[in-house]
Amino acid sequence: MEAGAIFPAEGRTNPQALGKTVAGQPFAKSLAKHRRPLAAAGGPCAVLVAVVAAAALPRPAAAQARLDARYEATLAGIPVGRGSWTIDIAEDHYRAAVDGGTVGLLKALAGGHGSGAAEGRVVNGQFAPASYTATTETGKKAETIRMQLAAGNVTESSITPEPPADTARIPVTEAHRRGVLDPMTASMVRVPGSGDPVGPEACKSAAAIFDGRMRYDLRLAYKRIETVKAAKGYQGPAVVCGVYFTPLSGYVPDRPAIKYLAAQRTMEVWLVPIAGTRVMVPFKMAIPTPLGAGVVFATEFNAAPTPRSAVR
């Protein structure tokens, strides 16, 4: 959860990967093309991770708390991934980490693993990201994205190994590296006010996100309230938000995935609170793909307030 988040995804968010799958291909053949793990940025479910990040301008943090969650991903009802997400929020800093990989048929055809982490300070009640990393491994190949941020601006970023130049890709300008969040920090939505955070206010967000490769905006819009239940942990109301994607730079305009995502009007994310705070995070995400519905959902969602000395 990129949350998206969740799986680095969360972690790396790379909607372009969806372009590798097209309607009409045999299902197994299509899955085999996804050589990067679900846990990072390599298939339709990775697009769901981008959805995780839909929550987002820098926002006031809340009370100290910890979240331990487990997620599963399915494509057309078939299990394709599994991952974990932990978040620690302290009085003056926060950190989050994700880890996941492919399972089942997708693992047999194109096994992979991904992990990611983000951390920063809580300054004047705001999440201020300082660093972000995301690593994907498939077979003998691995890729790592690293970013350093200060005051909402990217001060350093790298992709290792360096990808080949693509003249068709819209360049990321210095302006596009300013006033942004990393995908994982963006996935933590703080709802202002003192009332119930599970309501329309949670969906009144727009996000400026840079994932180390691509700069894009995500906008949320309130749809409804539903009841959700994890096998372990949280059960209760969730606010369902529509998600709308606008790419700005770092992508190839002619790729089918970009056109597909930008045209989507049925992507959704289910947000629930971290107990003891006003911070909302994704419990579930859903997006239609050419291969069927892609869904990421929490199987375990354990959140609780923490003592002031517990998060270091």
Give pLDDT tens digits for 148-199.
Answer: 999 999 999 999 999 999 999 999 999 999 999 999 999 998 888 888 999 9
Mean residue pLDDT of the chain comes to 81
Cα–Cα distance measured from residue 224 to residue 244, given in angstroms and rounded to the nearest whole number: 16
Cα–Cα distance measured from residue 73 to residue 112, given in angstroms and rounded to the nearest whole number: 14
Cα–Cα distance measured from residue 43 to residue 47, given in angstroms and rounded to the nearest whole number: 7
Per-residue pLDDT, 125: 63
Per-residue pLDDT, 49: 46
pLDDT at 55 over 60: no
| Cα distances (Å, whole numbers) of residue 53 to 12, 125, 178, 268 | 11, 20, 17, 12
More confidently predicted of 55 and 279: 279
pTM more than 0.85: no
Question: With bands split at pLDDT 50, 70 and 90, how would you rate the model's confidence at 259?
Answer: very high
pLDDT at 298 over 50: yes
Cα–Cα distance measured from residue 192 to residue 190, given in angstroms and rounded to the nearest whole number: 6
Question: Residue 202: CB partners within 8 Å, gap ≥ 6?
Answer: 189, 191, 220, 222, 239, 241, 271, 280
Is residue 312 within 8 A of residue 305, CB to CB? The reply is: no
Residue 131 host element (H or E): strand 126-138
Per-residue pLDDT, 74: 95
Question: With bands split at pLDDT 50, 70 and 90, how would you rate the model's confidence at 284?
Answer: very high
11-28 tens-digit pLDDT: 333 333 333 333 333 333
107-159 tens-digit pLDDT: 666 678 999 999 999 887 678 999 999 999 987 789 999 999 999 999 999 99
Is residue 31 within 8 A of residue 80, CB to CB? The reply is: yes
Q: Token pair for residue 170? A: 């819209």
Per-residue pLDDT, 194: 85
Per-residue pLDDT, 126: 73
Residue 266 host element (H or E): none
Q: How many residues does the chain have?
A: 312
